[in-house]
Structure 1
């Protein structure tokens, strides 16, 4: 019997997290799904751990060479047989009702091609820290998506197969002749590139569910070179978007770059690199000063956090960060509750 949902989980060197990720899928209250695990040539014990979990809904597909996240997702989509396709990264987790709520959302909203949810952050050990991604949920246009990624992370979206079919392509000069959905030239920014292509070139809508149904693990990246690579990948995405949405980019490119630079400043803050964060947030304001007016609170908080991180001893900054996260988490919880989300989903 054909499952309603195919869950695609790329696997690469996540031996400490993959079992929890798989179990969070298998424990879903909606159980009409298959789980396709794409082993992208893991060199640790990830594959062995996957093989120990015995469930008829699981299929394991192995790459012959490491191809990256975009290629692993493409492999999963090509092997999927579900009507809806859900993605989860192998170091994240789901709330038990995630698939049920997304299936209901898509069933009731035939024009929505991408359904996503708010996300709750976990620390590296998997402890929820009651701090949330709070994206725009409705009325999302290509310009909104260009300036920020409402989906937030790779474990949040559930997408119609028809939606993905509408943006599929065969890459030129590729040694393997197969259909792609995510652009495999991107090792980063592959998700936002795909979502933007959907919204800018098709009639499908994207909408979010207010409940934080995805648990997103915060990993310390540490190296400033990662930030440089992220920015370079984002710039490549912008160059590609200019080919299929030139008017959109002509109007919004500067604002979009400012938001991206501010986002990378926050990433630098998370990685403890205050000087880099100051440089990035100053570049963001210089690129488009309007972000101070359009998003005063978020921009000012980023500036203040960057300078505090640079000026204060690490222990003093950590106290300030914890206090800030506590109060921000309370504000976010209150807003989520006002959106009709049951308090049990916030515990």
Structure 2
């Protein structure tokens, strides 16, 4: 099974070589690397040229079109049976591909497989899964199919993904046939495009999971996660609200969607309040309360009317589960 590794990049000449090297150092050898330069204005082309070979191809957009378009460009150019996306500021451990490809080979019924991620913020290192709420509960409820490997139905992953995103683009392999069927990324998304895609996949296919930190996600100042934090949260909120509208009488899914909406509204409300957009903060909290009936959101809307120096008192009024996001 051949893997097409797509590296989407924009102005990452200073670091992209490290990502390429980590891909070239995989113990699994049947792969190609496709670097999609999304209109960089730095020395990205020269940085990639150092690695150009039969395994490494370079494609450039004439202008910056966004991560979704770059992903689709890579998918269209790929020759592999399996698609992987390695972000240009991230790294893979040598056994990443071999471990995940093995799961796809042995379990034909799943459409994708992912692993845990080591998150490197410079001053601290953590695990993606350890920061989640819904996914660890799902793990605890399932028996391993073998050492470190779990299999989830599409329904199980859909409910989990409604609430949170344990699947990170740099740590997932997806069958090419699945992406062709679902037509890849929605190019209207500039951030959060991965969640939208995984939700669509979960409506048709199961997922595999390898309980090992085989990828390293580095959170840098110029990363999409850092630059587009507000846009990302806003997009996720819009998707959660939109997805909820189609759930109708699916109580289990509605509850999961409401938990996501409440969390996104808390995050966005905090961002707006602390960037001086008090009325937008209040309206976001109010939206969350109207959608979910989550009382602490209504309380936040009221407290947002106060000077920031007084809002610390809200911690005494909120349940302990809500205090970490107190404005």
Q: Give the TM interval when normalised to the shorter protein.
A: 0.7 to 0.9
Match 2:28 to one of 27, 30, 52: 30
Q: Displacement, 1:217?
A: 0.7
Q: 1:69-114 CA distances to partner (integer Å, 9 max, x unpaired)?
A: 0000001111111111111110110111000001101011111111
Match of 2:159 in 1: 143
Match of 2:44 in 1: 46
* Structure 1 position 164 matched with structure 2 position 179: yes
Match of 2:142 in 1: none
Q: Displacement, 1:275?
A: 10
Q: 1:299-337 CA distances to partner (integer Å, 9 max, x unpaired)?
A: 947724x56xx8xxxxxxxxxxxxxxxxxxxxxxxxxxx
Please give the residue correspondences for 1:122-271 in structure 2 after superposition, counting only pairs within 5 Å: 122-124=120-122, 129-134=124-129, 136=135, 138-139=151-152, 140-151=156-167, 153-168=168-183, 181-200=184-203, 202=204, 204-220=205-221, 226-238=228-240, 241=243, 252-261=256-265
Task: List runs of 5+ in structure 1 lacking aligned partners.
Answer: 169-180, 292-298, 311-347
Q: Displacement, 1:238?
A: 3.5
Q: Displacement, 1:242?
A: 5.6
CA contact (8 A) 1:117 1:209 kept: yes
Match 1:10 to one of 8, 32, 49: 8
User: Distance in 1 between the 2:127 and 2:19 partners?
Assistant: 19
Q: Displacement, 1:68?
A: 0.4
Q: 1:180-215 CA distances to partner (integer Å, 9 max, x unpaired)?
A: x10000101110000001112x1x101211000110
RMSD: 3.5
Q: Displacement, 1:64?
A: 2.0
CA contact (8 A) 2:269 2:285 kept: no
Q: Displacement, 1:256?
A: 2.1
CA contact (8 A) 2:220 2:226 kept: no
CA contact (8 A) 1:9 1:87 kept: yes
CA contact (8 A) 1:94 1:213 kept: yes
Match of 2:104 in 1: 106
Scaled by the length of structure 2, what TM-score is found? 0.72
Please give the residue correspondences for 1:51-130 in structure 2 after superposition, counting only pairs within 5 Å: 51-124=49-122, 129-130=124-125
Scaled by the length of structure 1, what TM-score is found? 0.68
User: Distance in 2 between the 1:263 and 1:220 partners?
Assistant: 19
Q: Displacement, 1:142?
A: 1.3
